[in-house]
Structure 1
């Protein structure tokens, strides 16, 4: 089972559309969340309710899951190792690096609009690559989807890792996401690598639009 820890829930990222069920203990809730590959889950100690596989949005008001007797739990991690790390994109929309450079995806700022984000051209399999600068154990990837429209463009995304030139898939998000969603992609164990690539693997005319991504390592 995955190792979770209790967190103070951020009301700027509120949950909706969760799977839910009755449980006897917190451990049972954690086991369900682990089996569903949920990076976050919620437990109500009074009513013994468990919520997992939630859709998280980055704007709006807090729901009942943000207040007692609900508690939020998240897969344990130490730091966001992607912050300000080198990035490369498969392409840049219209060649406009001023507005859509890959480095905007790891600069620590989540933009509301459609500029100052990573925006690839429209192609079959767009990708973004991040160099963590050291070999680390990767827990999960958190992607902040664009907030001004086009959220459905984020779909069929594979998390691929390598220490050389041979990539191995360690996570996958089917989607499609919705506008303003915060997507967590839990990595299979082990995901120990220096280089991480997020790549759309299905469809045509695809474009990666990523205001910010975080790579949580242990």
Structure 2
């Protein structure tokens, strides 16, 4: 997320336990370790570690398994299998031009975004040339979509927001938040660069001063 500060607010539910003021407890650390071992044993790196990661949404089925059916039905959450998402987007993405927007107001973990990106690649269009806008009422699903946006290489123009698309102005709020975060990141980057330059200058001055103060062996 350091390389993508624009996605940090969306990904925060997944990042916060590790970067928050209170460090994760031993139970959380142990659970994370066991999940990592299970992923390695299931050879998940063969998916996430290669371009095959573009072909699958690992987070979608995971959330389905973690949540009770009643909770998902109450929230109106349904996971769209990958092959169905692929079939849906073939017609939707036909004739799309670079620079256009792809909008999903019930994006979930981003399954339709993945399928749309693959459809674009089949048309020799770089998904990074598009604007991706997705919203959902589930902040955890949005956090997963933020991670997926990086895995699927959707590019730098991804806007994700939490809100009810029927009542909330989530899209306007998400765009404004992204703009503010990028502005802050730019200022921090400039400040860090200035500090690095000043540090280099200080080291050069100190080295020059030390060299001048050193006794001349010829005298």
TM-score, length-normalised on structure 1?
A: 0.30
Larger radius of gyration: 2
Q: TM-score, normalization: structure 2?
A: 0.30
